[in-house]
Structure 1
Amino acid sequence: MPTFHVEMFEGRTVEQKRKFVEEVTRVTCETLGCTPSAVDIIITDVKRENWATGGELWADKK
């Protein structure tokens, strides 16, 4: 059973997430030959203040 853990900045709509999981599931099934019910996707919304790249919080980026 493939399981995807996806972390992204908060702010995406439910519709955007819905489309994302539909497409990831479709491509996974095509590629791995599994059924949609075998694909799990866990989305974690992260605040920009809790994510840093290169020593700088994303909340501080302009």
Structure 2
Amino acid sequence: MPFIQVNLGAGRTPEQKDALIRAVSAAAAAAISVPEASVRVWLVEVPATEVLVGGQTLAEKQAAAVPQGRP
């Protein structure tokens, strides 16, 4: 029975997270020829202030991506 943990910077929608865990589960089941019911997948969200990418926190990158004057 595979156990798969996905660490992900916070900021995705519930729909995106649902799509991710479903896709990972299906891919794992297909790759190792096991029933999908035996695959366990969970997400661990890391706060955007605690992820550094290219010298900027994920929170800084997300804020820079928002057009000026919009929250």
Pairwise TM-score range, normalised by the shorter structure: 0.7 to 0.9
AA aligned opposite 2:3: T
Which consecutive aligned stretches of 4+ in structure 1 deviate over 6 angstroms post-superposition?
none
Q: Matched residue pairs, number?
A: 62
**Partner residue of 1:51?**
51
Instruction: Name the SS for the 2:29 alignment partner.
Output: helix
Q: Find the aligned partners of 1:60 and 1:15 in 2 and give their Cα distance.
A: 23
Percent identity reads 26
Unpaired runs of 5+ residues, structure 1, are none
Q: TM-score, normalised by structure 1?
A: 0.75
How well do the aligned residues superpose, as a CA RMSD in angstroms? 1.8
Rg larger for: 2
Q: Find the aligned partners of 2:58 and 2:15 in 1 and give their Cα distance.
A: 24
Structure of greater relative contact order (alpha carbons < 8 Å, 6+ residues apart): 1
Q: TM-score, normalised by structure 2?
A: 0.67
